[in-house]
Amino acid sequence: MLPRTIDFARRFARNRAAVVGLLLVILVIGIALAAPWIYPRNPLRIVGRPEIWPFVNSRFPLGTDSLGRDIAAMIAYGARTTLLIGLCASITATLIGITVGAAAAYFGGWIDEMLMRFTELFQTIPNLIFVLTIVAILGQKLEYVTIAVGVVTWTPIARLTRAEFLSLRDREFVQACRAMGMSNLRIMFGEILPNALPPVIVLSSLVIAGAVLFESAVSFLGLGDPNVSSWGRLIGDGRTLIRTSWYICAVPGLAIMLTVLALNLVGDGLNDALNPKLRDR
């Protein structure tokens, strides 16, 4: 196992951009974890004069917003929200996608037809409109935003899983398992899935980036959880002040962009490292 891990790390490290992305992701995770220690008190608390520009007052390195809240503290706590929603939504999407895709390819026939129609349905519904509807109906809570984002992002994972399963389903080792009398579930998840997983993992890591963008759009529109600090909401709140204090919008936007960028780079790096065949394309 160890030599394989080292080999994997070496292949990942060959992609310089991916290493930079990984460092950025680690930095964001670090900030998210350290937020309660750096800023022990509620980040949504008013701490100073409103609209202090960044780098002016050393107490507020990123300035204060229209209410006099510390932007740096809100960014640090926003990282928690963003990463949590991104990760959970991606896990939700991956679970739904793998289940649907695996069942469709393994059983084939009318089950395949039904499940693929179902997938097509979710591809047709305009995704952000669907997220907004779910959040509007169920309520503005972190869990519901997460589920909503997961529910609209699983379709590519299902299609990819299905394609992978289709190519593996009739291989000799699967036939051997069948001949041994293994149950369908065990063959699907114990034998085929581990072989189909690498490209699916790459796609899931890219889904995290997409989920972060979705979450920021939802909270930008003011439909996110009002009780937690979020990058998107900070932009939405700062929108009214763009004539005088445009930094309130600029700072959290840069945070979103860098995080998504880093996640995308890591996804590309994983792709290179896990699918070495495709690397030279």
- CA angle at residue 102 from 97 to 107, to 5 degrees? 140
Q: Compute how many residues bind other proteins; rule: CB under 8 A.
A: 44
* Residues in region 196-215 near other proteins by CB under 8 A: 209, 213
**Under the criterion CB under 8 A, does residue 277 sit at the interface with other proteins?**
no
Beta-carbon contacts of residue 98 (< 8 Å; ≥ 6 apart): 157, 158, 161, 193, 200
Hey, which bits of 46-112 come out as E strands? none
According to the binding rule CB under 8 A, does residue 265 interact with other proteins? yes
Nearer to other proteins, 38 or 278 (CB): 278
Residue 66's CB is within 10 A of a number of other CB atoms, namely 14
Q: What are phi and psi of 15, to 5 degrees?
A: -90, 100
DSSP codes joined into one string, 197-232:
HHHHHHHHHHHHHHHHHHHHHHHHTT-S-TTS--HH
**Does residue 130 bind other proteins (CB under 8 A)?**
yes
Shortest Cβ 41–other proteins spacing (Å): 28
| The only residue of 40, 243, 277, 280 in contact with other proteins, by rule CB under 8 A | 243
Determine if 23 is a binding residue for other proteins (CB under 8 A). no
- Residue 95's SS3 state is helix
Asked if 258 is part of the footprint of other proteins (rule: CB under 8 A), the reply reads yes
25 binds other proteins (CB under 8 A): no
Binding of other proteins at residue 138 (CB under 8 A)?
A: yes
Start-to-end C-alpha separation, the chain: 28
- The footprint of other proteins (CB under 8 A) covers 117, 120-121, 123-139, 209, 213, 216-217, 220-221, 223, 232, 235, 239, 242-243, 246, 249-250, 253, 256-258, 260-261, 264-265, 281
